[in-house]
Amino acid sequence: MTEVKLFSGTNSHKLAESIARNYGKKLGDLTISKFSDGEMSPSFNESVRGCTVFLIQSTNPSSDNLMELCLMIDAAKRASAYKVCAVIPYYGYARQDRKDRPRVSIAAKLVANILTSAGADRIMTCDLHAGQIQGFFDLPLDHLNGSAIFVPYLEGLGLDNLIFAAPDVGGVARARSYAKHFEVEMVVCDKHRKRANEIASMQVIGDVEGKDVVLIDDLVDTAGTLCKAAQIIMDKGANSVRAIATHGVLSGKAYENIENSVLTELVVTDTITMKQKSDKIRILTVADLFAKAIHAVTGNTSISALFI
């Protein structure tokens, strides 16, 4: 057994503190210096020689925070850390996971290559946009599932007419897993996009009349899809509509869209720090989930118990 040390990047410090507290250790001492032009220089203010090091950083907004994480990994390796695990609660660029049109980048694979080249020995993340992104890595990857957070919350609501909805065809498998667990039906919102973040048309496949609908997604960005889906579902006679999304990216007019929508609430986790507060947004923490996963990794035990 080697000594375990946890460190945080600048983007996820609050979550990292909660993870460390749940794990039972204090965050390690790390300084991120910056030159006047924004160039970053991380340095460890304590020895990590021979230690198993966990570096906690969500890569949103992606570019600077991804670079900072890579520099932290490199610094830890050059300081003779035994193993370096990149804990990435939100894995940026995951939406670009395939070549869906000519002459585009598969950015999710490129990020995997960058993290590997930086020297990461292991990756830990939560609810990737597509599960097959795990195959982009040639090193161990622990893919945690937000259902461990959301299922107990939904059970506590005690909704009698519960039904789940996928906001698009790509989210069917995710919504079906919730429907199967609760032994209820599901519906699908079929959408067509003109371009990224812009919906041309949408229709609901399935019956939602008199139902309390829960939309399931991995992330919410501008909230355009969720809000339009919620409106159509309510127009079809639903009692209520709420949405669950692990990662609250919430860019552009997201907060305005959510406030003006028919959504009862949007439930997200703290993988990404909220830019502002909203009465319609409820935040659940993933700190204990990640702390338990780190315990399992360092103790060489299975993480299967963390999945529902």
Residues 6 or more apart in contact with residue 109 via CB below 8 angstroms: 97, 133, 136
Residue 169, pLDDT > 60, answer: yes
pLDDT tens for each residue of 254-307: 999 999 999 999 999 999 999 899 999 999 999 999 999 999 999 999 999 898
Residue 173 structural domain: 147-284
Place of tokens 């963390």: 306
- Asked if residue 131 and residue 152 are part of one domain, the reply reads no
Closest CA to 56 of 94, 99, 25: 25
pLDDT tens for each residue of 31-83: 999 999 989 999 999 999 999 999 999 998 878 999 999 999 999 999 999 99
Closest CA to 290 of 169, 145, 78, 159: 145
**pLDDT in the model for residue 265:** 97
265 touches 258 (CB < 8 A): no
The residue count of the chain comes to 308
Q: How confident is the model at residue 195 (pLDDT cuts 50, 70, 90)?
A: low
- Asked if residue 122 and residue 51 are part of one domain, the reply reads yes
Place of tokens 């899809």: 225
pTM: 0.93
- Asked if residue 192 and residue 203 are part of one domain, the reply reads yes
- Asked if residue 151 and residue 139 are part of one domain, the reply reads no
Tally the domains of the chain.
Answer: 2
- The H or E element spanning position 85 is strand 83-88
In the set 5, 83, 191, 292, the catalytic residue is: 191
Closest CA to 12 of 273, 268, 291: 273
Residue spans of alpha helices (H) in the chain = 13-23, 62-78, 107-118, 147-157, 172-182, 224-235, 254-259, 287-298
**pLDDT in the model for residue 308:** 75
pLDDT tens for each residue of 148-160: 999 999 999 999 8
- Asked if residue 57 and residue 96 are part of one domain, the reply reads yes
> Tell me, what amino acid is at 145?
N
- Asked if residue 174 and residue 64 are part of one domain, the reply reads no
247 touches 221 (CB < 8 A): no
- Asked if residue 219 and residue 203 are part of one domain, the reply reads yes
C-alpha distances out from residue 215 to 23, 35, 211, 233, 240, Å:
32, 44, 12, 10, 11
The verdict on whether 34 is a catalytic residue reads no
